[in-house]
């Protein structure tokens, strides 16, 4: 039995107000937003952005994210180095939060999006509903990966005690912020409706 999709009926859901209308209208009759059945070239653009994010992830973890100037000497800290330092200072809860938000979340989001793209390319037997749920979870938790940049920004703003102690952002803060932004764009550019298109094709 073939499954009927909105696209097969010439319908599209508005990305702003979610109203379903005929794609021939070009604009949503409710809010006026442009209507399109599917995001153009979604899969290839998402893969290109994911590859870019993967490249950015390397310098984001190798280069220093924070530089501490104290009594004339400078100490550079990478993300993992900062986590280790926090553990040594007995700030284990903060270290765990930073590790999860700055290491596990970006890696998990990249792997999840690569996996979802692979399921589309390979025609995986995993149900569209399960893949859609995985996509929604990935999109939700990915927003927390900017916490490391926020922490550095707060420290830079608050800790500036003359020439005794100064905290400056390192170059990795830029590459890490770029990594998060690119993965967010990749997540937003991915069209989960493609899962259901594949399912419809398999049942024809």
Chain position carrying tokens 């319908």:
11
Q: Which residues pair with 34 in a beta bridge?
A: 27
SS3 32: coil
pTM, two decimal places: 0.78
Ranges in the chain, pLDDT < 50 = 1-2
Q: Which of 76, 67, 61 is nearest to 179 (CA)?
A: 61
- Nearest Cα neighbor of 54 from 163, 186, 160 is 186
Q: pLDDT tens digits, residue range 147-172?
A: 656 666 665 555 555 555 677 778 88
Dihedral angle sign, alpha carbons of residues 194, 199, 202, 204: negative
What is the DSSP-derived secondary structure letter of residue 4?
P
């Amino acid at each position: 039995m073939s499954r009927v999709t909105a696209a097969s009926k010439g319908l599209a859901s508005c990305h702003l107000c979610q109203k379903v209308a005929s794609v021939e209208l070009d604009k949503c009759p409710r809010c006026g937003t442009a209507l399109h059945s599917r995001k153009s070239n979604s899969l290839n653009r998402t893969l290109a952005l994911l590859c870019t994010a993967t490249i950015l992830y390397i310098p984001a973890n190798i280069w220093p994210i924070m530089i501490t100037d104290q009594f004339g000497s400078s100490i550079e800290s990478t993300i993992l180095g900062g986590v280790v330092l926090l553990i040594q200072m007995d700030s284990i809860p903060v270290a765990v939060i930073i590790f999860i938000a700055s290491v596990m979340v970006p890696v998990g989001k990249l792997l999840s999006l690569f996996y979802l793209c692979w399921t589309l390319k390979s025609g995986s037997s995993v149900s569209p509903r399960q893949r859609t749920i995985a996509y929604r979870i990935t999109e939700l938790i990915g927003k927390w990966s900017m916490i490391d940049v926020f922490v550095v920004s707060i420290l830079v703003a608050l800790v500036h005690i003359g020439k005794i102690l100064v905290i400056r952002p390192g170059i990795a803060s830029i590459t890490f912020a770029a990594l998060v932004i690119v993965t967010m764009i990749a997540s937003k550019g991915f069209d989960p409706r493609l899962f259901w298109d594949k399912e419809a094709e398999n049942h024809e």
